[in-house]
Structure 1
Amino acid sequence: MQVTVSVNGEERAREIEPRLLLVHFLRDVLGLTGTHWGCDTSNCGTCVVLMDGRPVKSCTVLAASAAGHEITTVEGLERDGVLDPVQQGFHEEHGLQCGFCTPGMMLTARALLDENPNPSEAEIREAISGQICRCTGYATIVRSIRWAAEHPAAAGAAAETAGEAAP
């Protein structure tokens, strides 16, 4: 079947099998390998992407069901070479170790901050509670999301400053 999905602001039309999961459409068909595929049971949350701004586990969504929706992957957070504050926060606060859960965590964090720009630690922990990190113990992830909340324009400002400093 033919499916057209808007991914990171770009319409993508492909011929696919009706049973193809969104995670495989993104990774295998479109080559957007930032979306990770973990447990295949929707328990781990490594495959989280945003569908119309809401976190979904892409291993539970058929690609055909994504037609007519806006999908955002971790590749779509960065804009014109400028990191999203969430990405910058994970860098500043060392919010990853192995990095496997990081894309899903970042997208969940972006959705949280879009809905609640100043979440408490408890609200952050609640938002990421559907995702498993096997390495960090979550402390650095929570700090990374707090950093992003406290510096909503920091990533853009840093890029502008770097651009101004260039000869």
Structure 2
Amino acid sequence: MPTHDLSLHQDSRPTSTGTPVDDSPPSFQVRLVVNGRPRTLKLDTRTTLLDALREHLQLWGTKKGCDHGQCGACTALVDGRRINTCLSLAVMHEGSEVTTIEGLGTPAQMHPMQAAFVRHDGFQCGYCTPGQICSAVGALRELREGVPSHATPDLQAQPLRSPEEMRERMSGNLCRCGAYSNIQAAIADAAEASR
């Protein structure tokens, strides 16, 4: 009857020669600029950008909602573009600039979109608010750059800031409390202020 060496590390398994083999998942060093600050993280290659932000950098403003890219609570800006961080691996963003809600502004010096959300009461429970705000900032940038949406009537024309445009652009961000009318008012206010 074979004997088992119980002194081997849990994450190691013996080879045919009895030498332990490291079974730990592969890790990768990822360099990011997060909220203007260079950061280097050693991560399991399967770590999502969301988990890197929350679990490794303690930036809890970016929320884990559905973890399937359906609710938008995890929205952050990567190189100025809004993405669902739960669907993107951190290693895919080597050298990228990541902006979370914490990097947009502070309570003492809010980003114009944050201030508009406060003025228009664009939140209730607040869970979706960081993703809503980051998404709105990204949507206004898309408009400035002339990126059309599904609701754009003429793809050759400069998209307008119509309510239909903004509802379409924000459709990936869900609010269980139903504060949509106030969110739309806040975005319209911030868009007008940025003209």
Instruction: State the TM-score, normalized to the length of structure 2.
Output: 0.74
What SS class does the counterpart of residue 39 from structure 2 fall into? strand
The farther-off stretch of 35-44 and 128-137 is: 128-137
**CA pair 80-131 structure 1, distance change in 2 beyond 3 A:** closer
Superposed CA offset, 1:59-110 (max 9, x none): 0011111112111101111169421110000000000001111111101111
CA distance in structure 1 between the partners assigned to 2:114 and 2:107 by the alignment:
14
- 4+ runs of 1 displaced by more than 3 Å? none
Q: Which amino acid aligns with 1:52?
A: D
Is the contact made by 1:5 and 1:69 (CA closer than 8 Å) also made in structure 2? yes
Q: How many residues align?
A: 153
Q: Paired residue for 2:178?
A: 136
Q: Paired residue for 2:189?
A: 147
Structure 1 residue runs of 5 or longer lacking an equivalent are 154-167
Q: Which amino acid aligns with 1:87?
A: Q
Structure 2 residue runs of 5 or longer lacking an equivalent are 1-27, 145-159
Aligned sequence identity (%): 41
CA distance in structure 2 between the partners assigned to 1:10 and 1:80 by the alignment:
19
What SS class does the counterpart of residue 86 from structure 2 fall into? coil
Instruction: Find the structure with the greater CA-based Rg.
Output: 2
Q: Paired residue for 2:93?
A: 66
Is the contact made by 2:123 and 2:179 (CA closer than 8 Å) also made in structure 1? no
The yes-or-no answer on 1:78 pairing with 2:120 is: no
The yes-or-no answer on 1:24 pairing with 2:66 is: no
Q: Paired residue for 2:66?
A: 39
The yes-or-no answer on 1:120 pairing with 2:162 is: yes
C-alpha RMSD of the superposition: 1.7
Is the contact made by 1:77 and 1:83 (CA closer than 8 Å) also made in structure 2? yes
